[in-house]
Structure 1
Amino acid sequence: MQTDLVAALDIGGTKIAGALVDDRGRILVRTQRATPAREDGETVMRAVEEVLAELTASPLWSRARAVGIGSAGPVDASAGTVSPVNVPGWRGFPLVARVRAVTGGLPVELIGDGAAITAAEHWQGAARGHDNALCMVVSTGVGGGLVLNGRLHPGPTGNAGHIGHISVDLDGDPCPCGARGCVERIASGPNIARRALEGGWRPGPGEDASAAAVAAAARAGDPVALASFERAAQALAAGIAATATLVEVDLAVVGGGVAKAGDVLFAPLRTALKDYATLSFVQRLTVAPAQMGTDAGLVGAAAAALTRRSDVTAV
């Protein structure tokens, strides 16, 4: 017996990926386009339509019953709109309605990219088996999502768990979001590199001034590079502990490009967490690296669509 499938879209500032996914999370068909992020909104939408055209041309498309979208945010799932910071042509863009029109009226489920990655890690990755977890992406920005009581908790607009904009330094640097001392302003890849440069670190010949280069220098024992990662780890620990204190998660999964630094990040993160997660009900909180890799956005978008479908069917 053939099982139903869902279509999945993973939309970011660099790429727009699409897939047909089965109910076990297996990607059966995939396609991708570069995001024309500096172009107008209709040009970006045309790239989405090209991805969907490849999916609808597949012989498997007839089994697709819903579409899940994980998009860079902010998103507004209640309105079906997206306003990605890194795609300026989309402000309040009616993505759900446009995708529904292209796919013949299929149900469309929209969540933020942090929530999508969280759904994937809970379904098949490092958060599998945990009923209450925070999953984070630490990369160019810092995002996240929540699993509460065994289910993804995207919130009314799809942005719940956006840990990157918790303020952890009241007198800290201004953040582009308008607040001060946000986790993202301290712990994102560009800000790790910025802090290291301000401290006197310099990349080697032929190297970019990136968080990956800072991580390599930290592994070699460079004190400024180590200090920059320790500061990032402290900010992450403060944000994770605050989240755990509010909603009693017992696991924080950390992925994204910065997490590839490995022990350079995770060792000081686990140490700092002991200083912030001090109350009895959060002392069992653990941190783990993400497992799902580059397919997390697609798998998570599919999970959201499958969950929504099962909820509707059960009513």
Structure 2
Amino acid sequence: MPRDLIAALDIGGTKIAGALVDGSGKLVVRARRATRAQEDGATVMRQVTAVLEELAATAHWSRVAAVGIGSAGPVDASVGTVSPVNIPGWRDFPLVAGVRETTGALPLSLVGDGPAMTAAEHWQGAARGRQGALCMVVSTGVGGGLVLGGRLHPGPTGNAGHIGHISVEVNGDPCPCGGRGCVERIASGPNIARRALDGGWRPGPDGDTSAKAVAASARSGDPVARASFERAAQALAAGIAATAALVEIEVAVIGGGVAGSGDVLFAPLRRALRDYATLSFVQGLEAVPAQMGTDAGVVGAAAAAAQEARLEGFGPAASARPTGD
């Protein structure tokens, strides 16, 4: 029996998604459970185990070569623990050890959800074929990951590329992470909405005060809503340009709910990039929407596991190989 599948987990504050992923990025089997994040850590781990057991009960499990986990963070891949902000019961939680109780001796990798999304976009999405990329999720928070030298660069703990906590305003508002003026404190969905409300924007009759509602108002020409998105775009551009100056990325791929605002975000972001990305070697930097959607977590966790385990037939290197006539 060929070992030609990777078991992948995408763990977030609302759902735990699992899949068996083949060498083309196709999800052969899916499983899903609610996270139940407000319950104790053991309950959340039981949900993870239920997803794994559902995958393991299929006829395909004997084909699994490795296991990949992408988790909300922070994570610490060096010791196999996670402390997701949106799962209060998991603090320095031994997730890798818990998963191994089901998966046994299979090679296993752990990365943050930002690097997992990055691996997916590099393998199958908007960063495909790029040697250097920053891929970001702009939603309730702002996370990210890096591709350097044509390979995912998760760093020793699995958190590299976490652009949300680059400070772009040295005397800015305090961030929950302990810093000041972080990209996330300015550009995340809740902060876009907060700033709009503080500036006098008011929701419609439905009372929706989300960033999506602010985007709709901005699209209709509301100046306060537009200003809040422009401020978010400026912060993102400053963080992206700083990253490009450090590691010479070619493209910034942006996904998440806020990126769903389309040109309300991307138009001011691209303008701001021209102001910040001024050095000769970063002037060609592109900002593009993500392509992988809701499957990015599991596809990326699989790609990260394949890279760490050095499996043939998976990931960007395999996708780039000529297929012949």
TM interval, shorter chain, is over 0.9
Matches of 1:187 and 1:229, distance apart in 2: 8
TM-score by length of 1: 0.97
**Structure 1: stretches of 5+ with no match in the other structure:** none
Deviation at 1:207, TM superposition (A): 3.8
Partner of 1:10: 10
TM-fit CA distance, 1:174 = 0.6
> What are the equivalent positions in structure 2 for 1:175-254 lying under 5 Å apart?
175-254=175-254
1:126 match: secondary structure: coil
RMSD, matched Cα: 1.3
* Aligned position for 1:99: 99
CA deviations 1:95-117 (Å, max 9, x no partner) are 11111121122221000000000
Tell me if the contact between 1:186 and 1:231 (Cα under 8 Å) persists in the aligned partners: yes
* 1:160-212 Cα shifts (integer Å, max 9, x gaps): 00000000011111100001100000000000000000001011011410000
Deviations 1:115-139 (A, max 9, x none): 0000000000000010000000000
For 1:93 and 1:310, how far apart are their aligned partners in 2?
27
Which structure 2 segments of 5+ residues have no match?
314-325
Q: Which amino acid aligns with 1:71?
A: S
1:308 paired residue number: 308
Give the 5 Å matches for 1:76-225.
76-225=76-225
**Separation of aligned partners in 1, 2:311 and 2:47:** 31
Cα-to-partner distance string for 1:253-303 (whole Å, 9 max, x where unaligned): 000000000000000000000110011111011111000000000000010
Asked if the contact 2:219/2:264 (under 8 Å) is kept, the reply is yes
Q: Please state whether the residue corresponding to 2:258 is helix, strand or coil.
A: helix
Could you give the per-residue CA deviations for residues 23-61 of structure 1, whole angstroms, max 9, x where no partner exists? 111100001111111111101100001111100111111
Report what 1:71 is aligned to.
Answer: 71
- Give me the TM-score of the superposition, normalised by structure 2: 0.94
Following TM superposition, by how much is the alpha carbon of 1:309 offset from its aligned partner in structure 2, in angstroms?
2.2
Residue 7 of structure 1, CA deviation: 0.3
Determine the structure 2 residue equivalent to 1:296. 296
Count of aligned pairs between the two proteins? 313
Q: What SS does the aligned partner of 1:6 have?
A: strand
Instruction: Determine the C-alpha separation between the residues in 2 that align with 1:260 and 1:130.
Output: 23
Query: What's 1:268 paired with?
Result: 268
Deviations 1:45-97 (A, max 9, x none): 00001111100111111111211000000000110110101111111111111
Instruction: Could you list the structure 1 runs, at least 4 aligned residues long, displaced by more than 6 angstroms after superposition.
Output: none
SS class of match (1:147): strand
Identify if the C-alpha distance between structure 1 residues 66 and 199 changes in structure 2 by more than 3 Å, giving closer, same or farther.
Answer: same
For residues 18 and 93 of structure 1, the distance between their equivalents in structure 2, rounded to whole angstroms, comes to 19
Alpha-carbon distance change, 312 to 130 in structure 1, aligned in 2, over 3 angstroms? closer
Structure 2 residue matching 1:68: 3-state secondary structure: strand
**What is the DSSP-based 3-state SS (H/G/I as helix, E as strand, rest coil) of the residue aligned with 1:8?**
strand
| Residue pair 1:131, 1:151 contacting (<8 A) in 2 also | yes
CA contact (8 A) 1:23 1:306 kept: no
